[in-house]
């Protein structure tokens, strides 16, 4: 008799694709959180097939960036995979179309304006793909239930506050300036970034689009699991005000390990036993300062890229056994792993060619 929880974080580079499965009396409920980039379907489809999963009770698009949403659009094209409910924000329902177009035109050529236009188009395409299959759409706002999971953020109010920045030309320019300064700093210090990147800022800033990410959580056998997507500090603080997110057993490190989405105070409050990141393994994703901050807080940190690209799996309770999985190597421990092997725990990674 299976009664437990499984979390699979697939290797899709700097993108997110996470399958969460809850077993109750040997009956599974499958929730897919994001689908990675368009190319991620090449990893997702065989993964589902090899797991014997032909039906997803829910899919969640945390926010309409292509590294989260494009793979879901591709998945929806495959009618051999059944889908119960799609949880998708529809930004067009929460903003003034005329004011939005006016603001975007006034900052023509802006990188952030282009990003907003792309996100709006992706959201529209995702909704259209769901409607084409007559799949029920629910917007994932705080308090909503996604099967056995709860949406901890954003609230409708916070989401709409974020979207007002889309219709404010000055706000768009401010994001552009912030992004430019960040790039200049990174370019200037690229060769020494690891030496300089030793501390996390107290109040880092990310884009309104990232802060609109759906944050989800669930509890299994008294253990908290937190899924953060690309949410930033302000979004995570809002979610923490609504829900008790302290002392997590497992959490997703937000935004592929960017140093612009988390601060020491939040890490201390979340205090995860295990923290995972979906990343390609560049100097920026995950940032060494982010990894070090989680490790200093007592977390075992693992990434889909390390020491080689791999899918990662955790299970709590009684779940079906899997073949071909091995113990994960925590980040930056590969060189010393023979002297200090990772602790025995239910976290496992898969060989990509075997799962």
Question: Could you report the per-residue pLDDT of 227-245, keeping only the tens digit for each?
Answer: 999 999 999 999 999 999 9
Predicted local confidence at residue 187, as pLDDT: 58
Q: Are 333 and 291 in contact (CB under 8 A)?
A: no
Distance between CA 344 and CA 328 in Å, rounded?
9
Predicted local confidence at residue 288, as pLDDT: 92
Distance between CA 23 and CA 10 in Å, rounded?
20
The fourth-level CATH superfamily of domain 3-350 is: Ribonuclease Z/Hydroxyacylglutathione hydrolase-like (3.60.15.10)
Could you give the residue ranges of the DSSP H alpha helices within the chain?
Answer: 41-50, 66-76, 97-106, 111-132, 156-164, 169-188, 193-196, 208-211, 233-242, 264-270, 288-296
**Beta pairing, strands 149-153 & 145-146:** antiparallel
Please work out, in degrees rounded to the nearest 5, the angle formed at the alpha carbon of residue 90 by the alpha carbons of 86 and 91: 155
Predicted local confidence at residue 214, as pLDDT: 98
Domain boundaries, given as residue ranges, for the chain: 3-350
- Residue owning tokens 């300062």: 289
What is the model's pTM?
Answer: 0.91
Task: List, run by run, the mean pLDDT of 10-residue segments along the chain (355 residues).
Answer: 98 98 98 98 97 98 98 97 98 93 88 91 98 98 98 98 87 73 56 58 91 98 98 98 98 96 97 98 90 96 96 97 93 56 43 34
Predicted local confidence at residue 242, as pLDDT: 97
């Amino acid at each position: 008799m299976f009664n437990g929880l499984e979390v699979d974080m697939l290797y899709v580079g700097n993108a997110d694709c996470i399958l969460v499965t809850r077993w109750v009396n040997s009956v599974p409920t499958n929730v897919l959180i994001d689908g990675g980039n368009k190319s991620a379907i090449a990893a997702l489809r065989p993964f589902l097939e090899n797991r014997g999963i032909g039906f997803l009770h829910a899919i969640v698009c945390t926010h309409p960036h292509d590294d989260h949403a494009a793979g879901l659009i591709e998945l929806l094209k495959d009618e051999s995979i059944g889908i119960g409910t799609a949880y998708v924000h529809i930004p067009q329902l929460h903003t003034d179309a005329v004011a939005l177009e006016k603001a975007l035109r006034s900052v023509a050529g802006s990188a952030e304006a282009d990003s907003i236009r792309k996100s709006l188009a992706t959201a529209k395409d995702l909704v259209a793909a769901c409607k084409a299959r007559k799949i029920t759409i629910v917007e994932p706002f705080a308090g909503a239930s996604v099967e056995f999971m709860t949406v901890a953020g954003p609230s409708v109010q916070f989401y709409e506050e974020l979207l007002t920045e889309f219709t404010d030309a000055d706000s768009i320019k401010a994001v552009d300036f912030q992004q430019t300064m960040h790039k200049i700093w990174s370019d200037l210090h690229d060769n020494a970034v690891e030496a300089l990147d030793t501390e996390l800022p107290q109040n880092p800033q990310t884009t309104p689009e990232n802060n609109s990410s759906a944050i989800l959580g669930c509890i299994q056998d008294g253990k908290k699991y937190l899924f953060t997507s690309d949410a930033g500090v302000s979004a995570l603080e809002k979610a923490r005000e609504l829900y008790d997110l302290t002392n997590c057993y497992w959490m997703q490190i937000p935004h592929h390990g960017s140093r612009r989405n988390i601060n020491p105070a939040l890490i201390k409050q979340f205090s995860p036993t295990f923290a995972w990141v979906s990343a390609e393994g560049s100097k920026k994703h995950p940032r060494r300062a982010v990894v070090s901050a989680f490790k200093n807080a007592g977390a075992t940190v693992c990434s889909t890229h390390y020491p080689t690209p791999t899918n990662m799996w955790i299970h709590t309770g009684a779940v079906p056994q899997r073949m071909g999985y091995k113990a994960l190597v925590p980040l930056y421990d590969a060189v010393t792993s023979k002297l200090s092997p990772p602790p025995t725990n239910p976290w496992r990674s898969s060989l990509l060619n075997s799962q």
